């Protein structure tokens, strides 16, 4: 928990159709047709190069347990794992460490932090999308192996699946938003290093309409900063954003009230640190459509406010960091309109 809010009183494929009839004539122009075809070919080529569909292959070996599952079920397990292996070989393995998501190259072992979107195969998140299964082959092997609780070697059946897929990598959305933390609403410039007691604001601007949610994660809990605790009716899930409009959040000045209610009071925040210097991760999540927010609860660490002499303050609602990361992955697997900006901020004791 690295932020606290002051209590506020809330008063409130391209298709071409040619239609012809008796009154409409059509003149065929071969050169114009040729130019059109060349243009469409170039456009198609550019899109294909931007995020090409490629062939990927994978293999998986699973043990069949005939006492508890059918052979069809075992084959399906092998197929799902083969798909996962194919996608991870091609696009990397998803690794979660604390409140950070990495993609690891299985060939080189290199790990790179990512904000990209994911899809799910079974219970595994992958950084790609399967377009089509081109081929799947199965091979059954019986071996004699030592089995716990048995004196003699037992026959054990394995099913191997090999798949060939058409797939493409999932990449970050092309929406370019502008956002950064502030410590003063009069000086609009990025700040990532704060001292305990500093006010905290956020600048945001998007080229398209959408919705905004903001969380601050300290690796134990993720605090929900936006939407505000007492949002107007209809905006409980996220903050509505208008295209090209500049926003400054977490200030209660009238010029930063973006609701029709003139008496609405925004949550305002003041930073504090648990150690001499805390490093927190700010998640700014923008979407074209509202998100279903995760379950939040009140922060029970009220003793922090007493220690700081801030009894008239309250703490933002929280979700455990692990649960927040799971929610973040789940919304990415079902939504393709997300922009997730991750900003590291430091909070140092004076």
DSSP codes joined into one string, 146-175: --TT-SS-EEEEEEEEEEEEEEEE----S-
> Counting beta carbons within 10 angstroms of the beta carbon of residue 306, is it exposed (0 to 12), middle (13 to 18) or buried (19 or more)?
exposed
Pairwise pLDDT comparison (16 vs 261), residue with the higher score = 261
Please tell me the predicted confidence (pLDDT) of residue 137.
Answer: 97
Pair (297, 242) in one structural domain: yes
Q: Which of 146, 169, 192 is the last residue of a domain?
A: 169
Least confident of 11-20, 93-102, 208-217, 261-270: 11-20
Please tell me the predicted confidence (pLDDT) of residue 272.
Answer: 85
Pair (317, 185) in one structural domain: yes
Interatomic CA distance for residues 55 and 342, integer angstroms: 32
Least confident of 2-16, 106-120, 227-241, 301-315: 2-16
Q: Is 2 part of any domain?
A: no
Kindly state the tokens that stand for 137. Answer: 């082959």
Q: Which domain holds residue 128?
A: 54-169
**307 has a pLDDT exceeding 80:** no
Q: What 8-state DSSP symbol labels residue 308?
A: T
At 172-209, the pLDDT tens digits run: 656 889 999 999 998 889 999 999 999 999 999 999 99
At 96-141, the pLDDT tens digits run: 555 666 666 666 777 666 655 566 666 677 778 788 889 999 999 9
Q: Report the mean per-residue pLDDT for the chain.
A: 79
Please tell me the predicted confidence (pLDDT) of residue 216.
Answer: 94
CA distances from 245 to 6, 159, 231, 248 (A): 26, 57, 20, 10
Q: In the chain, how many domains are there?
A: 2
pTM (two decimals): 0.59
Nearest to 127 by CA among 163, 166, 170: 170
Q: Cα 198 from chain centroid?
A: 29
Q: Which of 102, 135, 169 is the last residue of a domain?
A: 169
Across residues 6-25, what is the average pLDDT? Answer: 36
At 210-255, the pLDDT tens digits run: 999 999 998 889 999 999 888 877 777 889 999 999 999 999 899 9
Across residues 283-288, what is the average pLDDT? Answer: 93
Q: Which of 147, 169, 191 is the last residue of a domain?
A: 169
Pair (223, 329) in one structural domain: yes
Please tell me the predicted confidence (pLDDT) of residue 127.
Answer: 77
Pair (150, 220) in one structural domain: no
Q: Residue holding tokens 């999540």? A: 285
Across residues 315-325, what is the average pLDDT? Answer: 86
Nearest to 50 by CA among 176, 208, 207, 169: 169
Pair (190, 138) in one structural domain: no
Pair (266, 332) in one structural domain: yes
Count CA within 13 A, CB hemisphere, residue 200: 25
SS3 state at 5: strand
């Amino acid at each position: 928990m690295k932020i606290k809010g002051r209590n506020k009183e809330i008063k409130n494929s391209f298709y071409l159709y040619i239609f012809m009839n008796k009154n409409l004539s059509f003149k065929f122009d071969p050169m114009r047709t040729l130019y059109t075809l060349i243009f469409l070919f170039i456009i198609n080529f550019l899109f294909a190069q931007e995020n090409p569909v490629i062939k990927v292959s994978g293999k998986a070996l699973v043990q069949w347990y005939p006492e508890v599952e059918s052979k069809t079920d075992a084959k399906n397990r092998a197929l799902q794992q083969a798909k996962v292996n194919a996608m991870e070989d091609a696009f990397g393995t998803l690794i979660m460490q604390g409140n950070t998501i990495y993609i690891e190259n299985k060939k080189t072992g290199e790990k790179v932090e990512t904000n990209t979107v994911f899809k799910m195969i079974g219970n595994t998140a992958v950084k790609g999308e399967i377009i089509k299964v081109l081929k799947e082959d199965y091979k059954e092997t019986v071996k004699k192996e030592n089995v716990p609780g048995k004196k003699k070697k037992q026959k054990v059946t394995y099913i191997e699946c090999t798949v060939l897929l058409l797939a493409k990598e999932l990449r970050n959305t092309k929406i370019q938003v502008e956002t950064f933390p502030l410590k003063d609403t009069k000086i609009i410039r990025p700040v990532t290093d704060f001292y305990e007691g500093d006010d905290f604001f956020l600048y945001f601007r998007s080229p398209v309409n959408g919705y905004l949610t903001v969380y601050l994660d300290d690796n134990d809990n993720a605090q929900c900063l936006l939407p505000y605790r007492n949002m107007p009716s209809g905006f409980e899930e996220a903050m509505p954003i208008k295209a090209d409009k500049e926003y400054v959040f977490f200030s209660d000045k009238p010029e930063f009230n973006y609701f029709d209610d003139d008496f609405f009071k925004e949550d305002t925040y003041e930073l504090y640190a648990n150690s001499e210097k805390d490093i927190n991760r700010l998640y700014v999540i923008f979407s074209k459509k509202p998100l279903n927010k995760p379950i939040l609860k009140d922060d029970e660490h009220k003793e922090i406010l007493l220690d700081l002499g801030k009894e008239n303050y309250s703490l933002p609602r929280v979700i455990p960091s692990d649960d927040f990361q799971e929610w973040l992955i789940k919304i990415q697997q079902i939504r393709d309109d997300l922009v997730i900006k991750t900003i590291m901020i430091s909070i140092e004791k004076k």
